[in-house]
Amino acid sequence: MTRRSDWPEPAAHEDSGGLASSRAGEGPPRTPRDPVEQARAICLRLLTGTPRTRGQLAAALRARDIPEPAVATVLSRFEEVGLIDDAAFAEAWVESRHHGRGLAGRALARELRARGVAADVIEEAVGQLDPEREEATARDLVERRLRATRGVPRDRRMRRLAGMLARRGYPEEMALRVIRQALAEEEQEDQEEP
């Protein structure tokens, strides 16, 4: 049985990117010593899977005890070359989450704030949702849920539907208006059927 102390030490060298690495088969690469290089490596790794905001990357670097000057240097450079773009992230987030999950502007703004996006960027991204589109999405959500609540007393249906829309960030006034319209249309259809 070979003990760890009997293994030869890997011969590490600096590669062109400034990260310490080792020869193939001799163990994992060593972590970079320079805080800027550490921050750069962490950010690149985090950006590989999914886009992230400057705030998310800054939080991840601080959690790994990267010094603040290195955090600022790396994040600024990543913004310069377009690897971090909070405005593009926010626009894509709003489009995706509104279309896919039916979230309204308030819920989208809350999610973007939690991801460290600046207030002015959030306002601009959420401002691109027009009120008619939001209302149409709310109406679609209500119509889908309406079928599942048939047979439930009207006031209980209204509470359930209003709660569903509230969780998605729709204003109470819009939610109640959409729900009342949908229920009235349903009642009218029921009366027209033989």
Looking at 94, 110, 129, the residue that finishes a domain is 129
3-state secondary structure (DSSP) of residue 90: helix
Q: Are 134 and 175 members of one domain?
A: yes
Q: Are 120 and 65 members of one domain?
A: no
Q: What is the mean pLDDT of residues 107-118?
A: 96
- The per-residue pLDDT for 72 is 96
- The per-residue pLDDT for 53 is 95
Q: Are 122 and 139 members of one domain?
A: no
The pTM assigned to this predicted structure is 0.73
Number of domains in the chain: 3
Q: Are 134 and 91 members of one domain?
A: no
Distance between start and end Cα atoms, the chain: 85
Q: What is the mean pLDDT of residues 96-103?
A: 92
Instruction: Show the CA angle centred on residue 48, arms to residues 103 and 17, nearest 5°.
Output: 150
Q: Are 194 and 134 members of one domain?
A: yes
φ/ψ of 20, rounded to 5, equals: -75, 135
Q: Which distant-in-sequence residues (6+ apart) come within 8 Å of 169 by Cβ?
A: 103, 104, 105, 106, 107, 108, 109, 110
Q: What is the mean pLDDT of residues 37-44?
A: 94
Q: Are 71 and 103 members of one domain?
A: no
**Residue 13 domain flag:** no
Q: Are 77 and 93 members of one domain?
A: no
- The per-residue pLDDT for 171 is 93
Residue 57 sits in a domain whose CATH number is: 1.10.10.10
Q: Please determine, for residue 110, whether its predicted confidence score (pLDDT) is greater than 90.
A: yes
Q: Are 101 and 137 members of one domain?
A: no
**Domain coverage including residue 111:** 85-129
Q: Please determine, for residue 128, whether its predicted confidence score (pLDDT) is greater than 80.
A: yes
Q: What is the mean pLDDT of residues 117-127?
A: 95
**pLDDT, tens digit (0-9, with 9 covering 90-100), for 157-167:** 999 999 999 99
Q: Please determine, for residue 23, whether its predicted confidence score (pLDDT) is greater than 90.
A: no
φ/ψ of 70, rounded to 5, equals: -70, -40
Q: What is the mean pLDDT of residues 170-182?
A: 94
CA atoms within 13 A on the CB side of 124: 12
Q: Please determine, for residue 131, whether its predicted confidence score (pLDDT) is greater than 70.
A: yes
Residue 124 sits in a domain whose CATH number is: 1.10.10
- The per-residue pLDDT for 3 is 46
Q: Are 148 and 178 members of one domain?
A: yes
